Structure 1
């Protein structure tokens, strides 16, 4: 057996080796330091990340598998981000979580790692960290919750929050009934049961090759998740023996496969910034335009909220991710491998669809073209994205006057003002919500509609923002506008009444004023005053170093990989 990385800490008879061994001799077997494989379980379980709270149980199954394979399992609690809990937005700390996890993986005597995540930012942060350290690594996604019902109707968590809250504002649902739905919304452990960011990134982790094949999408309460967790522990020891690392698994072909899958499942637009960030850690060539080039013509095959009708446990019973991928197998890179060492496509043999209502065929898709559309124009010189599958068909080409909000606070203060000059043809513009401007690029792009328009029956409008949108949200929303207003982007210069032109077919987003006039305009003073200006701490470091959405919104000093080597020996 080749020497393990952990032997750099434990082998030998000097003082440092003694210290490393002695302090770890708390129940480990006598031969724990004699060349056995040490696997960390990077565990994002936290009571304040409710979607990940069950990962301690999953961790125990992983540990059992590691022990069965002859390894040493080491629980490593790592920074966790609860999307529904932390303020101002979990995205502010994705890069910090990735950095802290990276440093702990590199600093400790481990040979490989099992990554446990679920809620939106946890799996991206774990993958970014693993990519930067490049130790053998494998993901166990925490899985979606089971479907709850309210008044006899299945609830899609996230998506139905938006819908029900709009019904309250429209006067068609009482506040008391809205509150009563709370206890029905979250039926079990696990993350959102819609095709939101958590579901998307769990599935894409598998398409990237970073999970035991077949595990992604397993509902969190399902006993088969624990079975897969055990098998993952066994696999982690094998991966160390075979020196199978993230850099050998996540290639450009793997990322292009993920883009194809993103379209086929109707996944979250947040996957764009996460996949770009992960690729940036690996040095894999991937751009925003690849999402359009590789995914725009891919059909939407999964009929799930927010783009469809069903929910994640329906997808699982209908055949799961492999059944979807089998439908688009010819579009996948056959050379891209998984943590098993075998190509992803080899694991699709025998995949069957058990419910054609949930998983459509290529011949009868939910939508023929469902990928992320990347828009350019004088309003988005570095691009913006939109998810056509979640948009209203009649708004895919639209021209309307801007109604501009200089900040989220400005939006909340004026949106429902009866005197607000707004019609169904207006384009709601919200700025100051990008990585630098907020900071953290919050999920506010799917702005609520003005109350007076809701009362008229309007349920969608064109909305433009430099922030993000929850993967559980829906609507004709242009987001990730780059450069953002706070980084000097033209969005800062748009005025109420300017005509905004959206043309998804031609991939355009423009404000209909001469370029010279736009260039000569000063940014909105109110917007500039609202931009974030932190004085200290992570927010200051983040604001000073974060990149734009079109490159993954990672911090400039975190791009690339530093590898597993510790820069200094202990003394």
Structure 2
């Protein structure tokens, strides 16, 4: 800690017009907790926790908090935990994405307002980690991200099951009539049976990997299962390291860790692990808090030179517990070493290169392939541009069917989620396997608030005829656990007048993954007529967070952050 800065409870005094009285009063109330005067002189490590009864993925958080406290106390600090908003992915309406920025604001303001010299951020479920990292990036308090870890897949009737790729696999079979109602109910009770986040390379696991790749988590902690003893040891180590950062004359802050170079490292990791499409939005938002942009054209350049190396569901066969046993993220980083910026600092106090040089080199090649023997030669994500997506769209090609990558199809349009629900399984729906399903008005500023609805279900009559995949296009998101030939994050979205909102049934759309294109084959005169006939946008909500959300939300290519929370972009 710089010598001219106050330490611990002396930091950021409450205003009463008398600084000495403010400190006296603060210490008086701190003693109410039973703390000794010796403890009150120590550096303070905040512990931001996001546990909630509505977030069962985080049910191991109390145990982690106790381990962090143990590490802080052992290193000579004073641990003080505090709650923030908790975002349980499947419990929030209309979607957890709507509240990510609210949680980020909560984290940022509590880090600024409360006296702490460093903080350990405890999160896991999809939107909690990006929200914590966004808040920490803005507050710039020395911070360590500790994730709760993935759940364990468990055996069931001769196979292993884990949320939530297997959730979707069985649901698709149920819709196709291959699984009975009794069987789907039995599966429901076997998909998530331990504490932790989804056991596949979904959004939670991807964000854990990105946090470690950015240098904001201790090395080797991204993939440790939630119920593994190493997860508790990682919590204790995070507490110890937070005290060291608090006492340092030159602490490692997020502003030193989140740089153009570390962001590029994180993008390489995202592509190599076949990570979630959601993570691109979140990483863009995190980087944006430090004024760093992620052009989608740059994503394509990195994707073309970054192979997919990790064989995990939804793009492979293994689970996060297998990645931990195979060598963790360190094994992936070592394979990517020629492509990485090795001089990037990390929260551990060493550079990425120093970290990798000190690690053992064992790896299970069944899970993490060698750079020279990749699962796929190109990265998992690709950005598409064209008349349907002037500012870009995203395809997770590692989870898609290459036979659908170059084709032109007829649009079957759903104007909203309600329209989709009402018609997708109608036996009279005019649809064939070669058509493109199009969902409108599901983007960031829509009433739907960009849900994970981009994984449009295969129409039931096609599913029962054996159709497993078809091209689907929307301005929505999809779960990182999902799979299929799905074009997402179309920008600008329908709700702000984007071309996606002008598509009509029967229009022709051309997809070319090789050409990085998605085009609406309708002449400009017809589009102008449709644009002129569009109804006016509805008025914004009258009050509260919903009003702030709709008025301030940026598009997907800018990370769906609020415009007033981003500094100017770095040159």
Q: 1:486, CA displacement in angstroms?
A: 0.3
Which residue number in structure 2 is paired with residue 284 of structure 1?
292
Which residue number in structure 2 is paired with residue 407 of structure 1?
416
> In structure 1, what is the Cα distance between the partners aligned to 2:311 and 2:245?
36
> In structure 1, what is the Cα distance between the partners aligned to 2:177 and 2:150?
32
Which residue number in structure 2 is paired with residue 545 of structure 1?
552
Which residue number in structure 2 is paired with residue 122 of structure 1?
128
Q: 1:221 aligns with which of 213, 216, 227?
A: 227
Aligned residues: 558
Q: 1:358, CA displacement in angstroms?
A: 1.1
Which residue number in structure 2 is paired with residue 446 of structure 1?
455
Q: 1:142 aligns with which of 145, 148, 152?
A: 148
Which residue number in structure 1 is paired with residue 380 of structure 2?
371
5 Å matches for 1:325-340?
A: 325-340=333-348
Show CA shifts across 1:535-562 (max 9, x none): 322111101110000000001111139x
Change in CA separation of 1:9 and 1:106 when aligned onto 2, cut-off 3 Å: closer
Contact 2:46 2:82 (C-alpha < 8 Å) held by counterparts: yes
Residue 528 of structure 2 aligns to a residue whose secondary structure is helix
Which residue number in structure 2 is paired with residue 566 of structure 1?
none
Residue 217 of structure 1 aligns to a residue whose secondary structure is coil
- Greater CA deviation, 504-513 or 154-163? 154-163
Q: 1:354, CA displacement in angstroms?
A: 3.6
> In structure 2, what is the Cα distance between the partners aligned to 1:95 and 1:524?
34
Which residue number in structure 1 is paired with residue 319 of structure 2?
311
Contact 1:323 1:351 (C-alpha < 8 Å) held by counterparts: no
Contact 1:9 1:20 (C-alpha < 8 Å) held by counterparts: no
Q: Structure 2: any 5+ residue segments left out of the alignment?
A: none
- Greater CA deviation, 541-550 or 7-16? 7-16
Show CA shifts across 1:404-449 (max 9, x none): 0000010010001111110000000001111101342110001000
Q: 2:395 aligns with which of 386, 390, 398?
A: 386
- Greater CA deviation, 275-284 or 471-480? 275-284
Residue 464 of structure 1 aligns to a residue whose secondary structure is strand
- Greater CA deviation, 421-430 or 232-241? 232-241
> In structure 1, what is the Cα distance between the partners aligned to 2:315 and 2:99?
28
Change in CA separation of 1:330 and 1:532 when aligned onto 2, cut-off 3 Å: farther
Contact 2:40 2:78 (C-alpha < 8 Å) held by counterparts: no
5 Å matches for 1:85-104?
A: 85-104=91-110
Q: Does 1:348 align with 2:348?
A: no
Q: 1:56 aligns with which of 50, 54, 62?
A: 62
Residue 401 of structure 1 aligns to a residue whose secondary structure is strand
Contact 1:292 1:371 (C-alpha < 8 Å) held by counterparts: no
Contact 2:273 2:380 (C-alpha < 8 Å) held by counterparts: no
Q: 1:271 aligns with which of 254, 276, 279?
A: 279
Q: Does 1:256 align with 2:264?
A: yes
Q: Does 1:168 align with 2:174?
A: yes
Q: Structure 1: any 5+ residue segments left out of the alignment?
A: 562-571
Which residue number in structure 2 is paired with residue 110 of structure 1?
116
> In structure 2, what is the Cα distance between the partners aligned to 1:307 and 1:231?
33
Residue 518 of structure 2 aligns to a residue whose secondary structure is strand
Show CA shifts across 1:64-93 (max 9, x none): 111111111001111110001111100000
Contact 2:51 2:83 (C-alpha < 8 Å) held by counterparts: yes
Q: 1:524, CA displacement in angstroms?
A: 7.6
Q: Does 1:8 align with 2:11?
A: yes
> In structure 2, what is the Cα distance between the partners aligned to 1:553 and 1:367?
30
Which residue number in structure 1 is paired with residue 39 of structure 2?
32
- Greater CA deviation, 347-356 or 128-137? 347-356
Residue 440 of structure 1 aligns to a residue whose secondary structure is coil
Q: 1:284, CA displacement in angstroms?
A: 2.2
Q: 1:516 aligns with which of 515, 525, 529?
A: 525
Q: Does 1:483 align with 2:476?
A: no
Change in CA separation of 1:524 and 1:553 when aligned onto 2, cut-off 3 Å: farther
Q: Does 1:417 align with 2:426?
A: yes
Which residue number in structure 1 is paired with residue 202 of structure 2?
196
Contact 2:284 2:293 (C-alpha < 8 Å) held by counterparts: no
